Chains A and B, each alone.
Chain A
Amino acid sequence: VYCLFQALRQISQRTISTASRRLVNRVSENQKLFQEDNGLPVHLKGGAKDSLLYRTTAGLTLFGTMYAVYYLLVSSMPKKPN
Chain B
Amino acid sequence: MALQAHSYHMVDPSPWPILGAAAALLTTSGLTMWFHYNSPRLLILGLISTALVMFQWWRDIVRESTFQGHHTPTVQKGLRYGMALFITSEAFFFLGFFWAFFHSSLAPTPELGGQWPPVGIKPLNPMEVPLLNTTILLASGITVTWAHHSITEANRKQAIQALLLTVLLGLYFTALQAMEYYEAPFSIADGVYGSTFFVATGFHGLHVIIGTMFLLVCLLRLIKYHFTSSHHFGFEAAAWYWHFVDVVWLFLYISIYWWGS
Contact = CB atoms under 8 A, between A and B. Distances in A.
A10 interface: no
B12 A64 contact: no
Interface residues of A, number: 37
Interface of B is mostly: helix
A61 B67 contact: no
B52 A65 contact: no
B56 A68 contact: no
With a 10 A CB-CB cut-off, give which of B36, B52, B69, B223 has the most chain A CB atoms.
B52
A71 B33 CA distance: 9
B223 A19 contact: yes
Contact of A30 (B15, B56, B66): B66
A68 B1 contact: no
Interface in B13-65: 13-16, 19, 22-23, 25-26, 29-30, 33, 36-37, 42, 45-46, 48-49, 52-53, 56, 60, 63-64
Contact of B15 (A13, A17, A43): A43
Given A16-B164, A26-B224, A57-B53, A41 B46 contact: no
B160 interface: yes
Contacts of A23: 223-224
A33 to B, nearest CB: 7
A64 B27 CA distance: 10
Chain A interface SS verdict (over half): helix
A42 B160 CA distance: 29
A53 B56 contact: yes
A50 to B, nearest CB: 8
Contact of A16 (B15, B29, B36, B161): B161
Contact of B22 (A17, A33, A64): A64
Closest 6 pairs (CB-CB, A-B): A34-B67, A41-B12, A64-B26, A57-B52, A25-B225, A68-B29
Interface of A: 12-13, 16-17, 19-20, 23, 25-27, 30-31, 33-35, 37, 41-43, 45-46, 53-54, 56-58, 60-65, 67-68, 71-72, 75
